[in-house]
């Protein structure tokens, strides 16, 4: 669906050349909800804007539906862009126009004939749950409602691709949840490919089936979302995931412990089984849960328990060996044996 081949974007200033996008290769499949995550300055916004050539790459190829956009003349590029919708962090609505007029504006700009516009506007506002807000101006709408208008506007030309530029960053957590739910519904109903950039791994966890992690203009890690969460390879990726899963235990608990403290990891079906209780019972070891969490990523469970194990030394070692065999792994955080 979307292929980025050796993509580069440089900005030249008086003092230096900034490599905002540095030799990026990505393949985004049709129907993906693809997340691109990174901190500010990582290059993710530049990368996103290269996909529809709002930013023209310094070099490389941007292939969408088999067409290399970088080789199109201006007229053909304008037509191709109509199949790539975009929503923005700060909505970018026309303040002097109502919700319906904001959506209609895009239709008129695309050359849709006047008689067809009202029906299409009504259909789009119903799709995003704003049928009753058609005559409201942006100043009369909440942040979430403004973003819904932005989504309706981006969908006006029946795009194949929807680009989301930090679409939820300006929203509170509850509204973010509702917008992500809407995007997922749109993805499923319209078979739409969604590319979403964010600095929040929580957003990726909730909606994306694949994710790429960016740092200094480069893709440093890429894969399906569950695998990235289950076994992150890069320190930056682990940093993002730690903020979601919160593995760390307060130092005071480690210092006060009189037993062995272990972090037991669970993946997929094993996260829903009574493995720990069975192992501890068979070894005669007591387990005190200090911290634990189960998350569902792409409807598959992932979890961990941080436990203090007490009992005979030999039985604790045996329990750790059995847990290592039957779970996704055991990390010893403190060992007094």
Statement to judge: residues 114 and 214 lie in one domain: yes
The pLDDT value given to residue 230: 87
Tokens of 176: 């973010």
Q: Could you give the 3-state DSSP secondary structure of residue 158? A: coil
Statement to judge: residues 74 and 135 lie in one domain: yes
Give the chain's mean pLDDT. Answer: 91
Choosing from 195, 214, 243, the residue where a domain stops is 243
Statement to judge: residues 200 and 219 lie in one domain: yes
Choosing from 180, 214, 243, the residue where a domain stops is 243
Statement to judge: residues 121 and 237 lie in one domain: yes
The pLDDT value given to residue 247: 67
Statement to judge: residues 216 and 294 lie in one domain: no
Q: Which of 179, 182, 180, 123 is nearest to 156 (CA)?
A: 123
Statement to judge: residues 166 and 89 lie in one domain: yes
Domain that includes residue 160, residue range: 2-243
The CATH number given to whatever domain includes residue 272 is: 3.30.70.260
Statement to judge: residues 130 and 267 lie in one domain: no
**Confidence class for position 273, pLDDT limits 50, 70, 90:** confident
Choosing from 219, 243, 267, the residue where a domain stops is 243
Statement to judge: residues 228 and 262 lie in one domain: no
**Confidence class for position 52, pLDDT limits 50, 70, 90:** very high
Could you tell me the strand order of the sheet in which 17-28 lies? 17-28, 2-12, 59-64, 67-68
| 328 burial type by CB count under 10 A (0-12 exposed, 13-18 middle, 19+ buried) | middle
Statement to judge: residues 40 and 178 lie in one domain: yes
198-252 per-position pLDDT tens digit: 999 999 999 999 999 999 999 999 999 999 998 899 999 999 988 887 767 777 7
Q: Could you give the 3-state DSSP secondary structure of residue 232? A: coil
H or E element in which residue 172 lies: none
Statement to judge: residues 18 and 93 lie in one domain: yes
pTM: 0.88
CB 227: neighbour CB atoms within 10 A?
Answer: 14
The rounded distance, in Å, linking the Cα atoms of 282 and 286 is 11
Which residue did the predictor score with more confidence, 100 or 303?
100
The rounded distance, in Å, linking the Cα atoms of 201 and 217 is 18
DSSP state of 268: G
Q: Could you give the 3-state DSSP secondary structure of residue 129? A: coil
């Amino acid at each position: 669906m979307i292929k980025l081949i050796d993509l580069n974007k440089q900005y030249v200033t008086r003092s230096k050349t900034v490599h905002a996008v540095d030799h990026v290769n990505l393949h985004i499949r049709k129907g993906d909800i693809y997340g691109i995550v990174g901190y500010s300055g990582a290059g993710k916004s530049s990368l996103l804007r290269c996909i529809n050539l709002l930013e023209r790459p310094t070099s490389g190829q941007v292939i969408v539906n088999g067409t290399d956009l970088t080789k199109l003349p201006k007229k053909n590029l304008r037509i191709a862009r109509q199949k790539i919708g975009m929503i923005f962090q700060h909505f970018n609505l026309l303040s002097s126009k109502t919700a319906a007029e904001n959506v209609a504006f895009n239709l008129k700009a695309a050359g849709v004939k006047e008689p067809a516009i009202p029906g299409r506007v009504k259909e789009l506002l119903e799709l995003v749950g704003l049928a009753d807000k058609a005559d409201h101006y942006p100043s009369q709408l909440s942040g979430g409602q403004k973003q819904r208008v932005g989504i309706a506007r981006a969908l006006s030309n029946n795009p194949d691709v929807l680009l989301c530029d930090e679409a939820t960053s300006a929203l509170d957590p509850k509204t973010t949840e509702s917008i992500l739910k809407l995007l997922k519904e749109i993805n499923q109903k319209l078979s739409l490919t969604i590319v979403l950039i964010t600095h929040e791994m929580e957003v990726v966890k909730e909606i994306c089936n694949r994710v790429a992690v960016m740092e200094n203009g480069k893709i440093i890690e890429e894969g399906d979302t569950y695998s990235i969460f289950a076994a992150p390879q890069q320190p930056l990726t682990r940093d993002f995931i730690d903020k979601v899963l919160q593995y760390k235990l307060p130092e005071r608990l480690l210092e006060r412990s009189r037993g062995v403290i272990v972090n037991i990891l669970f993946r997929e079906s094993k996260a829903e089984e009574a493995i720990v209780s069975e192992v501890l019972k068979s070894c005669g070891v007591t387990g005190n849960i200090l911290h634990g969490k189960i998350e569902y990523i792409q409807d598959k469970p992932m979890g961990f328990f941080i436990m203090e194990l007490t009992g005979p030394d030999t039985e604790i070692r045996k329990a750790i060996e059995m847990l290592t065999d039957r779970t996704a792994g055991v990390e010893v955080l403190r060992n007094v044996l």
